[in-house]
């Protein structure tokens, strides 16, 4: 698959083949992170549109059921405990996990029981039955897959980018996902949102995880209460006053807090052959990181002692975070792991160890997308790719001048990243002349 972007985020134009390991290098403010965020949003939206469709239908049913409840309560000729009991059970029907047919039958039953318990005016009965018909219409409405995917994309992009999806100053942008000559996704982007052109084809990626800082583990108390624009959905007023965060941050935090499942309960279809990798990660940390519900904190366990993750080195956080994601299959075959400048929190020796872990994931069917400006990490990734025989499944791209070309640019990458050393060389030469 190839991702093509025009006037999106920090990028004027970008093309990148999404291989098992993609590395985007370059200086800051050239759009490295934009690519990862777009990939994250596309995968999230395409894999959750059915959930959005169901949530929208459930909301309409719940809304109309509430209207029936209030109309009947207001029109009751007299109030009895039996009538109020039936009314309350009518309103609670939308909370039950039953089929649409069973739900509608139960609503009909409760309405008739209410009518039998009191003499309601004909106009009130007609109003209630009209609302009941609105529920029938909502349940019978055919799926509009294209519209549902477009709605999901708009929600996800708004939750991740807020109002800054378009390149500043651009009137229109475009996002495409193509495979050979087949267009999988074609989006037109304006200030008012994204619009789908044509149909959407299935993509092989089942989920995406975006990591931009291991320090997320230090902020668990705030993130536990936070929400995204995606969480607000239809009920904005009930969530006022809660802290906000980006979608990828909340997504990662929720995955890390998920309790580890027993190995025999994990699905085999997308599971990694991860036992050796998990052991390697434990050896790297010389311990284990896990979320403790009682302490409401992430703890680092080592040889019988436990300390808060806040008091550990950044390297422990990085590898502990990866181990939790792998152990619970959030990083698995046909998922994409997006790591934004991981070197910001790692000593060069730990960067070499991280490179080996990331290439191992790619060998096991995980799509890995890394943005970096560290020559240590990039060199290590290249060497590990060569050792693993993944050269054909890798891409080392350069972000430069707010553009990315779909070709390997390793020599250019190292030339740019070596510029500080050239500055030092010139400084040394000047010092020698002064002497």
Whole-number pLDDT of residue 420: 64
338 close to 211: Cβ distance less than 8 angstroms? yes
Tell me the average pLDDT across 78-101.
Answer: 82
Whole-number pLDDT of residue 123: 92
Does the pLDDT of residue 115 top 50, yes or no?
Answer: yes
Nearest residue to 382 via CA among 414, 406, 350: 414
Q: What percent of the chain has pLDDT over 70?
A: 83
Question: What is the rounded average pLDDT for all residues in the chain?
Answer: 84
Cβ neighbours of 402 (radius 10 Å): 17
Whole-number pLDDT of residue 430: 64
The whole-model pTM stands at 0.77
237 close to 254: Cβ distance less than 8 angstroms? no
Q: What is the DSSP string of 357-422?
A: HHHHHHHTT-EEEEEE--HHHHHHHHHHHHHHT-GGGEEEEEEETTEE-SS--HHHHHHHHTHHHH
Tell me the average pLDDT across 314-324.
Answer: 89
Nearest residue to 259 via CA among 311, 318, 317, 330: 330
Q: For residue 19, which phi and psi values (nearest 5 degrees)?
A: -95, 180
- Find all residues with CB under 8 Å of 27, minimum gap 6, and list them: 373, 399, 400, 416
Whole-number pLDDT of residue 175: 96
Does the pLDDT of residue 131 top 80, yes or no?
Answer: yes
Q: What percent of the chain has pLDDT over 90?
A: 35
Please tell me the distance from the alpha carbon of residue 352 to that of residue 350, in angstroms, as a whole number: 5
Nearest residue to 390 via CA among 415, 361, 412: 361
Q: What is the DSSP string of 71-112?
A: HHHHH-SS--HHHHHHHHHHHHGGGS---HHHHHHHHHHHHH
Reported as a single tens digit per residue, the pLDDT across 259-299 is 655 444 344 555 566 678 888 888 888 888 888 888 888 88
Q: Confidence class of residue 238 from pLDDT cuts 50, 70 and 90? A: very low
Does the pLDDT of residue 431 top 80, yes or no?
Answer: no
Q: Confidence class of residue 414 from pLDDT cuts 50, 70 and 90? A: confident
Q: For residue 215, which phi and psi values (nearest 5 degrees)?
A: -70, -5
Whole-number pLDDT of residue 240: 47
Does the pLDDT of residue 211 top 90, yes or no?
Answer: yes
Please tell me the distance from the alpha carbon of residue 94 to that of residue 63, in angstroms, as a whole number: 10
Reported as a single tens digit per residue, the pLDDT across 320-360 is 999 989 988 899 899 999 999 999 878 888 999 999 999 99
Does the pLDDT of residue 435 top 50, yes or no?
Answer: yes
Take residue 124 and report the two structure tokens written for it. Answer: 């009130």
Strand boundaries in 168-275, DSSP class E? 173-179, 182-190, 193-196, 207-211
Reported as a single tens digit per residue, the pLDDT across 159-182 is 888 767 899 889 999 999 999 989
Does the pLDDT of residue 233 top 60, yes or no?
Answer: no
Does the pLDDT of residue 130 top 90, yes or no?
Answer: yes
Domains contained in the chain, CATH given: 2-53+150-206+332-424 (3.40.50.300)
Nearest residue to 390 via CA among 18, 21, 16: 21
Q: Is the dihedral of CA 335, 340, 346, 350 positive or negative?
A: positive
Does the pLDDT of residue 239 top 60, yes or no?
Answer: no
Does the pLDDT of residue 11 top 90, yes or no?
Answer: yes
Question: H or E element: which one contains 140?
Answer: helix 122-140
Q: Confidence class of residue 255 from pLDDT cuts 50, 70 and 90? A: confident
Please tell me the distance from the alpha carbon of residue 194 to that of residue 158, in angstroms, as a whole number: 10
Take residue 210 and report the two structure tokens written for it. Answer: 């975006």
Q: For residue 409, which phi and psi values (nearest 5 degrees)?
A: -130, 40
Q: Which residues lie across from 23 on neighbouring strands?
A: 370, 396
């Amino acid at each position: 698959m190839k991702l093509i972007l025009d006037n999106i985020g920090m990028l004027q134009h970008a093309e990148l083949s999404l291989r098992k390991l993609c590395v985007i290098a370059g200086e800051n403010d050239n759009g490295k992170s934009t690519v990862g965020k777009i990939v994250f949003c596309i995968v999230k939206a395409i894999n959750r549109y059915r959930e959005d469709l169901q949530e929208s239908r459930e909301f309409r049913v719940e809304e109309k059921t509430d209207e029936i409840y209030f109309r009947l309560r207001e029109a009751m000729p007299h109030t009895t405990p039996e009538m109020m009991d039936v009314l309350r059970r009518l309103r609670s029907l939308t909370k039950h996990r039953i089929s649409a047919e069973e739900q509608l039958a139960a609503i009909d039953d409760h309405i008739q029981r209410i009518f039998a318990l009191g003499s309601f005016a004909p106009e009130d009965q007609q109003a209630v039955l009209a609302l009941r018909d609105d529920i029938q219409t909502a349940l019978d409405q055919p799926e509009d897959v294209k519209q549902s995917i477009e709605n999901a994309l708009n929600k996800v992009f708004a939750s991740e980018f807020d109002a800054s999806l378009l390149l500043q100053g651009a009137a229109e942008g475009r996002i495409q996902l193509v495979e050979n000559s087949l267009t999988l996704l074609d989006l037109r982007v304006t200030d008012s949102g994204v619009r789908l052109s044509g149909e959407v084809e299935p993509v092989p990626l089942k989920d995406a995880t975006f990591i931009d800082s291991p320090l997320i583990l230090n902020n668990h108390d705030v993130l536990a209460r936070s929400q995204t624009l995606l969480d607000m959905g239809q009920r904005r007023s009930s969530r006022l006053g809660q802290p906000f965060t980006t979608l990828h941050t909340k997504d990662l935090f929720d995955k890390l807090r998920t309790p580890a499942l027993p190995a025999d309960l994990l699905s085999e279809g997308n599971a990694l052959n991860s036992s050796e990798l998990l052991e390697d990660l434990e050896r790297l940390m010389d311990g284990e990181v896990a979320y403790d519900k009682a302490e409401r904190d992430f703890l680092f366990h080592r040889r019988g002692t436990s300390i808060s993750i806040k008091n550990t080195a950044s390297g422990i956080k990085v590898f502990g975070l990866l181990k939790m994601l792998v152990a619970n299959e959030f990083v698995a075959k046909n998922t994409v792991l997006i790591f934004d400048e991981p070197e910001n929190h790692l000593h060069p020796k730990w960067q070499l160890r991280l490179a080996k872990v990331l290439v191992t994931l790619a060998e096991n069917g995980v799509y890995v997308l890394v943005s970096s400006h560290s020559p240590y990490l990039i060199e290590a990734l290249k060497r590990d790719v060569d050792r693993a025989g993944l050269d054909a499944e890798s891409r080392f791209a350069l972000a430069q001048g707010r553009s990315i070309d779909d070709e390997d640019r390793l020599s250019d990458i190292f030339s740019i990243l070596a510029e500080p050393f050239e500055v030092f060389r010139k400084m040394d030469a000047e010092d020698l002349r002064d002497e």
